[in-house]
């Protein structure tokens, strides 16, 4: 019913308002890098994947 949809939207809005930081960081790449401890910290943590990782590699789909 429409009342249930409205209730779910209100719950979602409350959750978004409760923790605005991730959305703010996603909108601000420089802020994300700062929060992570700088570019060197990001590179050191392996957040960028392995150097041999290829964007064109596809997972095995034979299963």
For the record, the structure tokens of 46 come out as: 């392996």
Q: What is the pLDDT of residues 9-27, one digit of tens each?
A: 998 888 877 765 666 656 7
| Confidence class for position 63, pLDDT limits 50, 70, 90 | low
pLDDT digits (tens, 9 = 90+) for 38-54: 888 877 765 555 556 56
Contact 43, 50 (CB under 8 A): no
Q: Is the pTM of this model over 0.85?
A: no
What pLDDT does 36 receive?
A: 82
Based on its alpha-carbon atoms, the radius of gyration of the chain, rounded to whole angstroms, reads 19
Specify the pLDDT at position 48. 52
The C-alpha angle with vertex 18 and arms to 14 and 21, in degrees rounded to 5, equals 130
């Amino acid at each position: 019913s429409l009342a249930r949809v409205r209730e779910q939207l209100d719950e979602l809005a409350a959750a978004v308002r409760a923790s605005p930081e991730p959305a703010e960081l996603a909108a601000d790449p420089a802020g994300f890098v700062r929060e992570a401890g700088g570019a060197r910290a990001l590179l050191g943590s392996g957040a960028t994947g392995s150097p041999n990782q290829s964007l064109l590699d596809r997972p095995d789909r034979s299963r």
